[in-house]
A and B are shown apart, each in its own frame.
Chain A
Amino acid sequence: MGLLDALEMGETVLILYGSENPPYALIAGIFEFAKRKNFSVLVDDILDMLHVYLVNMELRGFDVYSLKNASVFKIGGMVDSGNVLFESGIDEDVEIYMSRYSHNFLKFLEGQSEVINIVLGFDKLLAYYSGDERSQRRLVGGISRLTGKGRISFYFVNSDVLKALGKVRALLVDSATTVMEFGVEGERQRLKVLRSPKVGMMGRGVEVTRT
């Protein structure tokens, strides 16, 4: 997928999608991309969203072997999926588990050359803190601190959930280095670049097909 090749190491990519058309094919595509480039994959499983995606993707006939065996950092939720290397509840103050998360994340990066980080459920975490703007800001701030490090992070965000988030929405979009939209055009699924550090990439789209 040409659009993924154009991404620079250190980027924080925001992928917007709607509930009617979750990005199953894109997630599968990112795993293939990582395999091709020999990058490691780390999945942030927030509030059991990895489980949700695994079930949905398996039902739809996707090959979920890589996803099922991926390294996972688990935040909140009850169901273990993948190979959980780090786990944290969300009962404590955001600062506390965020610093634990960062510490472990950076340690993980140290042991790898280049990492693709797939983040599922970050929008749900922000929704959990709806009304608590301070915590929401802290969470989004945490993203900026990891931008530029040896990973490309894909934050999958449901646009309808994002819309309901109020002020922090703009902060989140602003924290991303690249913003993409995954949607449906007729019968086809498309990935489109809404914003990129590379001006020439803006507006470019590609069809996402299942292999």
Chain B
Amino acid sequence: MNEEAINSLRDFLDGAFRPGETVILEYSSEVPIHVVFAFLLRLSREWGYSVVVDDIVDALPRITRLLEMGGLGGQFLDEDGIYVIKIGGNERTGNVVAHLRFSSDYYVQRAEYRRAFDRISLERGFVINLVLGFDRRLLMTDSHYDRFLFTVGGAPYLGNRKRIALYFLNRDILEEYPAETSILEEIATSIVRLGWEDGNFVVEFTRTVKKPPSKILRVPGELVVEYLGGEGVE
């Protein structure tokens, strides 16, 4: 019964998102998101995709630290085919191919980012783009106008078949910005919401193109950790 949940999830994820999609993964603070990140990274690599991680203001080192502390090791990023574009921050983890200065100016940041991303895209073709820390970016952008531009800034990339983008958004951080959150959700092609209850990931397929196994799927945390080859949950 338990095994079914993780298999259901894998089956759903296989072909769930099409090239050109922008997927929002919303989670609340109690969710062990580092496990989710490692899981999606592992699956992407298993399926032969190159991965580009947007590491905004050291969001990635935070995750790898949690993975190490959680007995899951930090080897996830050491493979070929995983690239990191760092935006701001100080701690370099993984294969950092570009380290951009954090800019609150939307146009400046976009131009620099595009250059870095296109370079990888040219080399590797299709990539899975895991975006970490976008929620913090909004928090750190004081100018309302720039924050708004970043919010709608993802829209032109929709339909870009060279990637599927997955934004990790902490709902509690974004509580401050309900309008921006709603706009991000509307622009996205799929929304998946994550909760955590009694040792289970509670996965809600809020809006997806592919029909999910059920609207809500509970996946035991231990199973995911096992799949990742971890030491198990105490």
Q: Are B155 and A79 in contact (CB under 8 A)?
A: yes
Q: List the B side residues contacting A60 at CB < 8 Å.
A: 209
Q: Is there a chain A Cβ closer than 8 Å to B229's Cβ?
A: no
User: Contacts A51-B155, A52-B158; is A20 near B207 (CB within 8 Å)?
Assistant: yes
Q: Are A127 and B183 in contact (CB under 8 A)?
A: yes
From A52, A124, A164, name the one whose CB has the most chain B CB atoms within 10 angstroms.
Answer: A52
Q: Are A52 and B178 in contact (CB under 8 A)?
A: no
Cα(A150)–Cα(B155), bound, Å: 32
Q: Are A160 and B158 in contact (CB under 8 A)?
A: no
Q: Are B152 and A59 in contact (CB under 8 A)?
A: no
Which residues in window 151-167 of B have CB below 8 A to A? 152, 155-156, 158-159
How many cross-chain pairs have Cβ atoms below 8 Å apart between A and B?
Answer: 72
Q: Are A158 and B182 in contact (CB under 8 A)?
A: yes
From B20, B148, B152, name the one whose CB has the most chain A CB atoms within 10 angstroms.
Answer: B152
Selecting from B31-39, B90-98, B185-193, the interface stretch reads B185-193
Q: Are A164 and B159 in contact (CB under 8 A)?
A: no
Q: Are A164 and B186 in contact (CB under 8 A)?
A: no
Q: Are A48 and B152 in contact (CB under 8 A)?
A: yes
Q: List the B side residues contacting A161 at CB < 8 Å.
A: 179, 182-183, 186
Q: Please, which residue of chain B has its CB at the minimum distance from the CB of A50? A: B155
Which residues in window 38-80 of A have CB below 8 A to B? 47-49, 51-52, 54-56, 59-60, 77-79
Residue in A21, A59, A158, A165 whose beta carbon sits within 8 Å of that of B21 in the complex: A59
Which residues in window 96-131 of A have CB below 8 A to B? 124, 127-128, 130-131
Q: Are A160 and B179 in contact (CB under 8 A)?
A: yes
Q: Are B183 and A124 in contact (CB under 8 A)?
A: yes
Q: Please, which residue of chain A has its CB at the minimum distance from the CB of B158? A: A55
Cα(A47)–Cα(B18), bound, Å: 24
User: Contacts A47-B155, A130-B144; is A52 near B186 (CB within 8 Å)?
Assistant: yes
Q: List the B side residues contacting A165 at CB < 8 Å.
A: 179
Q: Is there a chain A Cβ closer than 8 Å to B145's Cβ?
A: yes
Q: Is there a chain A Cβ closer than 8 Å to B7's Cβ?
A: no
29 cross-chain CB contacts under 8 A: A19-B183, A19-B186, A19-B191, A20-B185, A21-B207, A47-B152, A48-B156, A51-B156, A51-B159, A52-B155, A52-B186, A55-B20, A55-B159, A56-B158, A59-B18, A59-B20, A59-B21, A59-B189, A60-B209, A77-B152, A79-B156, A124-B152, A128-B145, A130-B179, A158-B183, A160-B179, A160-B182, A161-B179, A161-B183
